[in-house]
Structure 1
Amino acid sequence: MKQVIDKWGKSFGIYLILMIVFPFVMPDEYYRSVGIIIGLHAIVTIGLCLVMGLAGQISLGQAAFWGIGAYTSAVLTTKYGLSPFVGLVASAIIPGLFAFILGRAIAGLQGYYLAMATLAFGYIVQIGITEWEPVTGGANGMISIPKVTFFGDSELSMYYLIWGVVTCVLLFSLNLLHSRVGRAFRAIHKSEIAATSMGIDVRKFKLNAFVVSGMFAGISGGLYAHYMGILDPQPFGLHESIKFLTMVVIGGMTSIWGALVGTVLINFISEGLIMMSEVIPGLQGDIDTIVFGAILVLIVMFMPEGLVPRLRTLYEKSQAKKAKAKAANLQSDQRVERKATT
């Protein structure tokens, strides 16, 4: 934790200030709801960053874990009368078990084959949710899902609950990144062969990353279910998985902060497109899919490392230039002083 504070203390302080003041700067209920959705997505994308940026895996089924978590908590609370907090615990455990089973099954796959396997899993889950009508309500979905009571059930209390979870997930991930496990993940990402030769159990670490990512998505899904109060299978398909993937790639796959920044950017772009579609009818429909696809292609072509790592590199270069110029000025002043004394 000390390493995290030393390296990211300033960034984390800025994050906390922005997170705390946002609902007061934007007191409108609509913008608070946007902030809540951003928080829910951030939990998923931080987990996906662990899988893609650290473990070097490609997952196109993240929305499936999101849906499993949402329906787990919704079913337990509406059909069995359990507390929403019990449902939220289960919404982390059950997707984690699914992630463990899937991770063991596809442990030997890489690249496109891994992506196709996770894509197939996503389709299976969405079809299962749709067809298991006695439990999930099928295409009609579920209603009357109870709210989570956290110092009340207002929009503001839900906002701070969700962003409190985001903060815990963020701290856990940053701490993991700077631990022995994080170093093993980075070695795997650079070269699995080299990591294996160093004695790292590549399959074990990949599986761990996949399970943690699934649990994060499940927690977010459970919170989503209790925030919305209703559920249907539509949000848990490929479109949402591609959206999560775009958020991570834009921000920077190797950066936890990048996942958060990418989530914020994509959600605001999405909201902007919705507002524009109200003015320009031709933008209605799947225009967001086209825009996100175009952004993804442009980022991969011109900024493959992502936005946050690029900005960090530029900042470090500018600091290095300043330090070099300062050193040169100091040497020049010293020469002048020596000449003056002689």
Structure 2
Amino acid sequence: MKQVIQKWGKSFGIYLVLMILFPFVMPDEYYRSVGIIIGLHAIVTIGLCLVMGLAGQISLGQAAFWGIGAYTSAVLTTKYGLPPLVGLVAAAIVPGLFAFILGRAIAGLQGYYLAMATLAFGYIVQIGITEWEPVTGGASGMISIPRVPIFGDSELSMYYLIWAVVSCVLLFSLNVLNSRVGRAFRAIHKSEIAATSMGIDVRRFKLNAFVVSGMFAGISGGLYAHYMGILDPQPFGLHESIKFLTMVVVGGMTSIWGALIGTLVINFISEGLIAMSEFVPGLQGDIDTIVFGGILVLIIMFMPEGLVPRIRSLYEKSRAKKTKAKEELQRMERKATT
């Protein structure tokens, strides 16, 4: 944790200030709800960044873990009367178990085969939620899901609760990134053969990343259920998985901060499309899926490292040029004086 504070203390401080002030700068309830949705998505994308950017795995089923977490907490609180906090704990554990089982089953798969396996898992989960009507309510969904009674019951309290969870997830992930485990993940991402030759248990580390990612998505799903108060299977399909994937790729797969920035960028684009659809009827429907797919292709073609690593690289090059110019100027001044 000390290394995280030393390396990311300033960035995390700026993040905290922006997060705390946002509801007061944007006091409108609509923008607060947008901030809440961004926070929920950020929890998922940070976990997905651990899987893709560190462990080097492709997952197209992240929305499935999101849905499992949401329905787990919703069922426990509405049908069995358990407290929402118990539901949220279960919303982390149950998707984690599913991720463990799936991770063990597909441990030998890589590349497109892994992507197809997670895609199939996402379809199975969405169909299961839709067809298991006695428990999940089927296509009609569930209603009267209670709010989480922490910090009160208002929109503002829910905002701070969700972003407090985002902060914990962010700190945990940054700590992992700067630990021995993070170095092992980076070695696996660069070359699994080289990592294995160094004594790293590649399968175990990949499975751990997959489970943690599933748990993060489950926590976010549980919070989503308690925030919305209603659920239906529609948000937990391929469309949302592609959206999560786009957020990570746009921000930068190898950057935890990139996952957060990518989430902000894609959500702002999504809100922009919604606003434009009021004036341009052709932008209604599933146009956002096409837009996100196009963004994903363009980023992969022209900026595969993502926004945050590209900006960091440009900043470092600029600093290096300024330092070199300053040293050259000092050398010329010394030469002139002699």
Distance in 1 between residues matched to 2:252 and 2:334, nearest whole Å? 49
Q: CA deviation at 1:220?
A: 0.1
Q: CA deviation at 1:4?
A: 1.0
Counting only pairs closer than 5 Å after superposition, residues 69-88 of structure 1 correspond to structure 2 as: 69-88=69-88
Q: Residues 256-285 of structure 1: CA distance to partner in whole angstroms, max 9, x if unpaired?
A: 000000000000100000010011111111
Cα gap change, 1:110/1:335 in structure 2, threshold over 3 Å: closer, same or farther?
Answer: closer
Measure, in 1, the Cα distance between the counterparts of 2:335 and 2:210: 65
- Alpha-carbon distance in structure 2 between the residues aligned to 1:283 and 1:63: 24
- Displacement of 1:340: 7.7
When residues 261 and 332 of structure 1 are mapped into structure 2, their CA distance, relative to the original with a 3 A threshold, is closer
RMSD over equivalenced CA pairs, Å = 1.3
Partner Cα separation in structure 2 for residue 150 and residue 334 of structure 1: 59
Give the C-alpha shift of residue 336 in structure 1: 7.0
Q: Deviations over 1:42-82 (max 9, x none)?
A: 00000000000000000000000000000000000000000
Q: Deviations over 1:283-320 (max 9, x none)?
A: 11111011111111110000000000000000011111
Residue by residue over 1:170-224, the C-alpha shift from the partner in whole angstroms, topping out at 9 and shown as x without a partner, is 0000000000000000000000000000000000000000000000000000000
For structure 2, which runs of at least 5 residues remain unmatched after alignment? Answer: none
- Provide closer, same or farther for how the CA distance between residues 34 and 335 of structure 1 changes in structure 2, counting only shifts above 3 A: closer
- Given the superposition, is the C-alpha separation of residues 336 and 133 from structure 1 closer, same or farther in structure 2, using an over 3 Å criterion? closer
- TM-superposed CA distance for 1:150, in Å, is 1.4
Spell out, residue by residue over 1:91-144, the C-alpha distance to the aligned partner (whole angstroms, 9 max, x if none): 000000000000000000000000000000000000000000000000000000
CA pair 282-333 structure 1, distance change in 2 beyond 3 A: closer
Indicate the larger mover: 277-286 or 104-113: 277-286
C-alpha distance in 2, partners of 1:21/1:123?
Answer: 39
For residues 42 and 229 of structure 2, what CA distance do their matches in structure 1 show? 20
| SS of residue in 2 equivalent to 1:80 | coil
The TM-score, its normalising length taken from structure 1, stands at: 0.97
How many aligned residue pairs are there?
338
Q: Provide the C-alpha distance between the structure 2 equivalents of 1:52 and 1:103, rounded to a whole number of angstroms.
A: 14
Q: Matched residues in 1 for 2:214 and 2:48: separation?
A: 8
What is the rounded CA distance, in whole Å, between the counterparts of 1:112 and 1:12 in structure 2? 35
Structure-2 residue corresponding to 1:62: 62
Give the match for residue 160 of structure 2. 160
Q: Which moved more, 1:45-54 or 1:143-152?
A: 143-152
1:291 alignment counterpart: 291
| Alpha carbons of structure 1 residues 322 and 82: separation in structure 2 relative to 1, 3 Å | same
User: Is contact 2:151-2:161 (8 Å) kept?
Assistant: no
Change (3 A) 1:322 1:69: same
Aligned-partner SS, 1:152: coil
1:77 and 1:325, CA in 2 relative to 1: closer, same or farther beyond 3 A? same
Aligned-partner Cα distance in 1 for 2:38–2:29: 14
Q: 1:197 to 1:233 in 2, by over 3 A?
A: same
TM-score (norm 2): 0.98
Q: Distance in 2 between matches of 1:339 and 1:219?
A: 64
- Residue 275 to residue 197, structure 1, CA distance change in 2 (3 Å): same
Q: Give the conservation status (yes or no) of the 8 Å contact 2:188–2:202.
A: yes
Alignment check: 8 A CA contact 2:148 2:226 kept: yes
Secondary structure, aligned partner of 2:156? helix
Deviation for aligned residue 1:337: 7.1
Give the CA deviation at 1:3. Answer: 1.3
How far 1:5 moved relative to its partner? 1.2
For residues 333 and 95 of structure 1, do their structure 2 counterparts lie closer, same or farther at Cα, with a shift above 3 Å needed? closer
Task: Report the 3-state secondary structure (helix = DSSP H, G, I; strand = E; otherwise coil) of the residue aligned with 1:259.
Answer: helix
Percent identity, aligned pairs only?
90
Report deviation, 1:339: 6.7
Which residue number in structure 2 is paired with residue 23 of structure 1? 23
Secondary structure at 1:279 match in 2 = coil
Mapped to 1, the partners of 2:156 and 2:312 lie a distance apart of 33
Give the 4+ runs in structure 1 shifted more than 2 A.
331-342
Q: Which moved more, 1:146-155 or 1:171-180?
A: 146-155
Structure-2 change in CA distance of 1:337 and 1:26 (3 Å): closer
Deviation at 1:241, TM superposition (A): 0.2
Q: In structure 1, how many angstroms separate the alpha carbons of the residues matched to 2:255 and 2:330? A: 42
The answer to whether the 8 Å contact 2:252/2:258 transfers is yes
Shift of the 105–324 alpha-carbon distance from structure 1 to 2, 3 Å rule, reads same
**Deviation of the 1:240 alpha carbon:** 0.3
CA positional deviation for 1:164? 0.1
Extract unaligned runs of 5+ from structure 1: none
2:335, 2:128 → 1: CA distance?
Answer: 84
SS in 2 for 1:46: helix
Distance in 1 separating the partners of 2:100 and 2:229: 29
